[in-house]
Amino acid sequence: MSSFFLLLQNVHDIVHVFPMKSNYSDPKLFTGGVDINSWSKLSKKEKMEALNKDWYIYYSFRNPKTGKLVRQTNIKGGVNRYKDKRTRYHLLKVLKQSLEIVLQEGFNPYKDNETLVEHLQNKIDGMTSKTKKSTLVTTVVESTPQKQIETTISEAFKLALELKEKAMAASSFIRYKSRINIFKKWLLENEFKEKDDIDCITKKTVIKYLNSILLNSSSRNRNNSRTDIASFFQILEDNDLIKENFVKKINVLRSSPTRNKTYKPIEIEEIFDYLKSNDPLLFLYVQLVSYNVLRPIEVCRLKIGDIDLEDKKLYVRAKNQPVKIKIIPSILLKELPNLSQFDKKDFLFTSSGIGGKWEATENSKRDFFTKRFKKVKDSLGLGVEYGLYSFRHTFITIMYREMAKTMSPYEVKSKLMLITGHATMTALEKYLRDIDAVLPEDYSKLLIKND
């Protein structure tokens, strides 16, 4: 830290009120050519460009000969050695307040036969005792300003959760909030306090926490926690509460993901026959997952007003966008009941039947049908690797392989994207690999050795 900054800081601490002069302009801050109040809205490139420029204080003083205000030498005070906005801006504000004090006190660069630095030192010498002067010299040479707490752990967690809640679906936010609060609880149990600065949490702290999860559960759970904590710290970085999101630099461990297994044709036939006879409500639920390739939770979100039987359209609140329009294929259209007697705000599925109110969270609704389907699995001898999601995997696989008989792989995936709702070809290709939808032709001839 420059001695010039410390001189101004000492003046700021000692001097309180001086009479105003009108022969100078108010000191202003140059912060890299951007509006500092809109910092959080800037792109990373714009922030870097601003930080690559010198930040300083500028002001003008009236020339006694011409009577005009003349721009004085910019005051940087050593702040540009810091590469983050928060530190630079904080130091410049302190410098600005101190400069205003000495200008109010009467410093005149045209009359005083001394530099601003000399003026500051002489003023402090006149205001302090010999003991304090000795302390000041030591301070100027050796000390640095004491760091002040700007954002507490409690404030940071509260803000991040409030902002995240506005950006996430309710079902996703429940899991997110749970993981973040578990992390906060761990911090408080490990000698952190809610009033500590959020900067006290380091990369090493997060790694230690993630290791504790790994030792007590699985690499998958550890990776999921890492993802949510990284998202949490990204909010803090975006709102300029921390310098950088160091959690992104923490490695992701390799894990073996569990997925719902696709059904064999004979299993689909048996399940559908069973549902037709024993559970018509669940059968319609399964048909929506199968024929419209919806996720189970998306079926739970459907309301009567989301189904346009006349135009054969389905309005789905999907995972990756607020509302997605899908066609209702004729194979499903003929299975849908008459919905005209229901209120458009009613849910399509309830715990008691088709159409009505259902006061429950989306996760609770999905769990209701998951448990209901478990009875079907138990009666047919299907294992835990099968679930409601398996129908989506199965019918996407069926469509892919059927189209692949007459189309090129690119054509198949282009048409399939419109059905599945994947945002990119890359995302669809990864999904197809994960569910083993794409299989090679019989390659026996490659294994036969020709004489």
pLDDT tens digit string along 176-196? 999 999 999 999 999 899 999
Enter the tokens of residue 377.
Answer: 């699995």
Could you give phi then psi for residue 325, rounded to 5 degrees? -95, 130
pLDDT tens digit string along 76-97? 888 888 888 888 888 888 888 8
CATH class for domain 265-388? Answer: mainly alpha
The H-assigned helical ranges of 106-152 are: 116-127, 130-142
SS3 28: strand
Residue 6 pLDDT level (bands cut at 50, 70, 90): low
Enter the tokens of residue 385.
Answer: 């690797």
Rounded distance between C-alpha atoms, residue 417 and residue 427, angstroms: 9
Q: Is the pLDDT of residue 11 over 60?
A: no
pTM equals 0.56
* Total residues found in the chain within this entry: 451
What letter represents residue 190's amino acid? N
Give me the half-sphere count of Cα atoms (radius 13 Å) on the Cβ side of residue 13. Answer: 12
Q: Domain boundaries in the chain?
A: 18-111, 153-249, 265-388
**pLDDT confidence of residue 401:** 94
Rounded distance between C-alpha atoms, residue 171 and residue 165, angstroms: 10
pLDDT tens digit string along 345-357? 999 999 999 999 9
Among 59-63, 241-245, 289-293, 428-432, which stretch is predicted with the lowest mean pLDDT?
Answer: 59-63
The CATH architecture annotation of domain 153-249 reads Orthogonal Bundle (1.10)
pLDDT tens digit string along 156-171? 999 999 999 988 878 7
**Section 62-66 average pLDDT:** 85
Strand partners, 325: 315
Looking up tokens 């130091």 gives 91
Please list, in sequence order, all residues whose beta carbon lies within 8 angstroms of the beta carbon of residue 380, skipping any fewer than 6 positions away: 267, 270, 271, 274
Kindly give the interhelix angle for 389-403 and 280-291, rounded to the nearest 10 degrees. Answer: 40
| DSSP letter assigned to residue 248 | G
Question: How many other β-carbons are positioned within 10 Å of the β-carbon of residue 207?
Answer: 15
